[in-house]
Amino acid sequence: MDNRPIGIFDSGIGGLTVFKEIRELLPNEDLIYFGDTARVPYGSKSVQVIRKFSSEIATYLTLQNVKMLVVACNTASALALSTLKSETSLPVIGVIDPGVRAAIKFAGDGPVGVIGTRATIASGAYQDRISRLRCNLRFVARACPLLVPIVEENLMQSDIARMALEMYLSDFKKQQVSSLILACTHYPLLKSLINEFFEGKTVLIDSALETALEVREVLQARRINSDSTQSGHETFFVSDSPEAFSEIAADFLGRPVAGECFLHSWQNEI
Amino acid sequence: MDNRPIGIFDSGIGGLTVFKEIRELLPNEDLIYFGDTARVPYGSKSVQVIRKFSSEIATYLTLQNVKMLVVACNTASALALSTLKSETSLPVIGVIDPGVRAAIKFAGDGPVGVIGTRATIASGAYQDRISRLRCNLRFVARACPLLVPIVEENLMQSDIARMALEMYLSDFKKQQVSSLILACTHYPLLKSLINEFFEGKTVLIDSALETALEVREVLQARRINSDSTQSGHETFFVSDSPEAFSEIAADFLGRPVAGECFLHSWQNEI
């Protein structure tokens, strides 16, 4: 038993989709969430910067005495997971392996599709994992940089969103992709439109639930789950305005933020 | 006479449009450009964070011994200009005043329009300046967060871009805006499409040239222009990959980057 909190982080707010699934599956665990809202997004940045930022957050969460790190960000999972694992003795869980396992389960004869940020797709991390698990399975991957701003502009049901999907996903349709990994925490908010586009013929994989299941498994396997019978505490740290975060977070969580939300301002030495 | 370099900065790469105009107008001045590519964009962030980042860059450029600071970023000009002016004795020039003066020149009976990032529009900086110069002039302002990603996806001539302009600018057309300030360094790349949308009936103001003219004026008024007869040096600092920056910078400048490009990695204390 270990009653320390689970640390969860993302480049910004999207990781709350993972936070939400973990909360539902593990109601008694204390959770700490870090959103790097001052430096968001990561998806258009370099490997070096993504690793540096991820390590800084992991160090910060470790100082908060967490028992596990959950990288609730596809870009950081794709590019920084091995770096983080080499820097800590805590268990580190990313969103890629859970997503890939689910995609393969529904893949049939494939191909499997992956959409994500520029950095995630360029990293080849999803492609690597898929071919390691089923080496002959074909896959199609594409970066879709317009989808995050479309979600952030609340245009999930607009013609602009339809046109962007047409542009990004025609090739996936042509190749009759059997399962498609939504490899960015914002994309599940476009799920119904993507489903419409594929006429329900492609299984859409949202890694959030799969990741939460893996978190539970690892807690149990290592016997580090909490024995509390109370509702777990929730604490949030963000590097930009806690007020703005709390407001948008309520949309992601489907309820107001329950715990306290603090500002952690990075102190730069020049 | 003062042969020290002029310091120019932006949240990322867009400020190169200002850099380019300054270079053309002042071929003998040494120029230092700082692009904060690790923390870009600023336009969706809070006043506090935008001021903090801008001050850090201004301090860094001051250590490089510049004689003047040019804030080639609309968001930082809108939110951090007075902070920067209070922190230094160097002349500090932003992009807002030059843009507003030009817009008013072509305004006729107005109204004047302004489009920019969320932070720029929310700041009210353009609206303030316009009403200070011509208090009865009507203005229309709107944040257009999709336009930067559209430019970055190289979709300047696409139906998606047309649809986004329709969504953002219909109201400007209805109100028969006489001049429209493109208050974000990326927007001039959509100039031909915006012109098409307004059927050439609205004057589009791109602040880059106006800002360069103001830089020249201030140098002359303060007698701090360079007396060199050689082509000025160019040095670039970026907080993320210099290689990626140099590649995209060539598109903005219409020529390869002439000077050296260095990485300045912010060192964070936790």
Among B208, B236, B252, residue at a domain's last position? B208
Instruction: Kindly list the residues from chain B whose CB atom is less than 8 angstroms away from the CB atom of residue A59.
Output: 270
What tokens appear for B184 in the block?
């974000």
Q: Is position A105 within any domain?
A: yes
Q: What span, in angstroms and rounded, lies between the C-alpha atoms of A246 and A259?
A: 10
Say yes or no to pLDDT of B56 above 90. Answer: yes
Whether B184 is a known active-site residue: answer: yes
Q: What is the pTM of this model?
A: 0.93
Alpha-carbon distance A253 to nearest alpha carbon in chain B (angstroms): 21
Residue among A46, A152, A244 minimizing CB distance to B244: A46
- Residue B212: predicted pLDDT: 97
Q: Are residues B188 and B103 in the same domain?
A: yes
Regarding whether A242 and A199 lie in a shared domain, the answer is no
Last residue of a domain, one of B208, B228, B246: B208
Per-residue pLDDT, averaged over B181-203, amounts to 95
Domain boundary among B161, B176, B208: B208
pLDDT per residue as tens digits for the range A107-132: 888 799 999 999 999 999 999 999 99
Shared domain check, A193 and A103: yes
Q: Does one domain contain both A115 and A194?
A: yes
Told to judge if A261 belongs to the known catalytic residues of this protein, a careful annotator would answer no
Establish if B145 touches chain A: CB-CB under 8 angstroms.
yes
Q: Are B103 and B191 in a shared domain?
A: yes
* Whole-Å CA distances, A29 to A5, A63, A163: 7, 18, 42
Residues A161 and A119 in one domain: yes
| Cβ neighbours around A87 below 10 Å, total | 17
Residue B270 in any domain: the answer is no
Q: Is residue B268 part of a domain?
A: no
Q: Is A144 helix (H, G, I), strand (E, B) or coil?
A: coil
**Pair (B189, B88) in one structural domain:** no
Q: Is the distance from CB of B41 to CB of B84 less than 8 angstroms? A: no
pLDDT higher than 70, residue A209: yes
- In a shared domain, residues A172 and A103: yes
Assess whether B106 and B70 both reside in one domain: no
| Model pLDDT, residue A270 | 60
What is the β-pairing status of strands B203-205 and B234-238?
unpaired
Q: Are residues A121 and A165 in the same domain?
A: yes
Confidence of residue A267 (pLDDT cuts 50, 70, 90): confident
Confidence of residue A269 (pLDDT cuts 50, 70, 90): low
The angle at the Cα of B44, spanning A192 to B163, to the nearest 5 degrees, equals 50
The structural domain count of chain A equals 2
Burial class (CB in 10 A: 0-12, 13-18, 19+), A207: buried
Per DSSP, what are the bridge partners of residue A113? A140, A180
B213-253 confidence digits (pLDDT tens)? 999 999 999 999 999 999 999 999 999 999 999 998 998 89
ipTM: 0.91
Mean pLDDT of B169-173: 97
> Does B81 share its domain with B11?
yes
CA neighbor of B268 nearest in space, from A153, A88, A56: A56
Q: If you average pLDDT over residues A211-215, what whole number do you get?
A: 97
- Average pLDDT of every residue of chain B: 95
Tell me how far the alpha carbon of residue B69 is from its chain's centroid.
13
Domain presence at residue A151: yes
Q: Which of B45, B55, B148 to mutate to test the interface with A (most CBs of A within 10 A)?
A: B45
B11 in any annotated domain: yes
Contact B146 A163 (CB under 8 A): no
How far apart (Å, rounded) are the C-alpha atoms in residues B129 and B207?
Answer: 14
Q: Is residue A269 part of a domain?
A: no
When pLDDT is averaged across residues A7-27 and rounded to a whole number, the result is: 97
- Return the CATH number at A137: 3.40.50.1860
> Using a CB-CB distance cutoff of 8 angstroms, which residues of chain B are in contact with residue A244?
46
- pLDDT at position A251: 83
Is A143 contained in some domain?
yes
CA distance B261 to A120: 26
**The A68-71 sheet, strands edge to edge:** A92-94, A68-71, A6-10, A31-35, A234-238, A260-263
Q: Are A241 and B265 within 8 A, CB to CB? A: no
Min Cα distance A25 → chain B (Å) is 32
- Phi and psi, residue B33, nearest 5°: -115, 135
**Quick check: A91 pLDDT over 90?**
yes
pLDDT of B109 strictly over 70? yes
Cβ neighbors of A11 (< 8 A, separation 6 or more) are: A35, A36, A39, A40, A41, A42, A43, A53, A73, A75, A76
pLDDT digits over B123-146, tens only? Answer: 999 999 999 998 889 999 999 999
- Check whether residue A216 and residue A173 sit in a common domain: no
Domain presence at residue B248? yes
Give the range of the structural domain holding residue A75, as residue numbers without chain letter.
6-94+209-263
Tell me whether residues A241 and B49 touch, CB distance under 8 A.
yes
